[in-house]
Amino acid sequence: MSRKDEDLNKEEHEAQTEASREKEAQRHRAASAEQSTSRDSGSADPYGNRRDDRIYGGTEMSTHMKSDMPPGAGDHGGLDYKTLPKSTPGWKVIVQEMIADKLALFSLILFTAITAYVFGLTMFLDQAQIVFVDLFAINQPPNEEFRLGTDYGGRDIFGQLIIGTRNSLAIGFLVTLMSVGFGIVYGLVSGYFGGQFDNALMRVVDFFLVLPFLMIVIVFVTIVPSYDIWTFSAIMAAFLWMGTARLIRSLALQEKELDYINASKTLGSSPAKIIFSQLMPNLVGIIIVNATLSLAANIGIESGLSFLGFGFPEDYPSLGTLLAYATQTQTLQNRWWIWLPAALMILLLMLCVRNIGEALRRAGDARQRQA
């Protein structure tokens, strides 16, 4: 074979080798591209986030690295929506806090039992017979016929205590419902609209705050010739709503600046729908705590007015009217059965409501929870 033929064969062999290398490189590039596409599509989560294997070299993280990841993090640091911790419902937080606070749980059970007992038992008691004056049973100590004795008119103290507790609780509930309900609406409307409208409404609140509450209630009670639980509750509630209104207004001013309120405004939702469907539900925790603490205060105010003689008359018992018997020296020193049960009942109700309110307040504040 000549020199020329050898050179020709060598060039042909080199060309074939180069072509085979080019085809092999193309196959490698195609396989690499297919593998990359498969990895990207297979590792994407429902939110479109891809798992970046380049950070960890396509291998699983070590146990030490996983321990430093937040709850709900995936194998490579991305959040996994399936393992994200779910928020605890509000009612469950309250139940857990009540169970954790044994004193509050006992107070809730005791308050519920007292309320159910007095409201249930009064359905079978004859109030007219209980307040009937019996001159032959004056100031009798506790005995088989009268479990807690009688007063200076021969009236059964036990029956008056049951009816008086029911009346005081009923007035406390009604006053709380009226005052807190009106204060919530007033504060939400004032805080949501703001501006000059809010300024005008707050001047009305300031006017009511400077009024002497007890003096005005005493005047109203004196002027009204005859009143019942509803009338007495309305007179009290008319001057007890300002604190709730100021509290809810301050919270509404902060809440209305959040994004979800602005989004609702942008979507064209009406102010009434935003206030009562979106703004108020986010303040339920504060509202419950405020209402609970107001209940104890309202029971105390009613008892104080009755003690001073500006509540219900003696033929319509309340805890305050029974406690007023202690103003007589002989009764205070020698006839403890007349006034002591009412005093203990007031103290017991106040402590129960106070303990329940404190537990509810802690349930609304994650920093103070015991559960």
CA dist 288 to 164, 256, 293, Å?
Answer: 26, 20, 9
In our burial notation (b when 16+ CB lie closer than 10 A, e otherwise), range 308-329 reads: eebbbebebbbbbbbbbbbeee
d(CA 49, CA 17): 44
How does DSSP assign 235-303, residue by residue?
HHHTTS-HHHHHHHHHHHHHHTTSHHHHHHHHTT--HHHIIIIIIGGGGHHHHHHHHHHHHHHHHHHHH
In a domain, 247, yes or no: yes
In a domain, 11, yes or no: no
Prediction pTM value: 0.71
Q: What is the pLDDT of residue 324?
A: 87
In a domain, 13, yes or no: no
89 with 83: CB under 8 angstroms?
Answer: no
Q: What is the pLDDT of residue 344?
A: 93
Which two three-digit tokens encode residue 319? 């805890």
In a domain, 334, yes or no: yes
d(CA 85, CA 205): 44
In a domain, 53, yes or no: no
In a domain, 360, yes or no: yes
314 SS3 class:
coil
In a domain, 73, yes or no: no
Domain count, the chain: 1
d(CA 178, CA 344): 27
Residue ranges in the chain whose pLDDT is less than 70: 1-16, 19, 28, 30-91, 364-371
d(CA 125, CA 147): 15
Give me the amino acid identity at 350. M
Q: What is the pLDDT of residue 216?
A: 86
β-strand partners of 79:
73
d(CA 337, CA 333): 10
Domain with 187, as residue range(s), is 90-370
Q: What is the pLDDT of residue 141?
A: 87
In a domain, 221, yes or no: yes
Torsion of CA 58, 61, 65, 71, to 10 degrees: 100
Domain with 209 in it: what CATH number? 1.10.3720.10
Q: What is the pLDDT of residue 56?
A: 44
Q: What is the pLDDT of residue 92?
A: 74
Q: What is the pLDDT of residue 203?
A: 93
Q: What is the pLDDT of residue 54?
A: 43
pLDDT, mean over the chain: 79
CA dist 28 to 24, 57, 216, Å?
Answer: 6, 20, 94
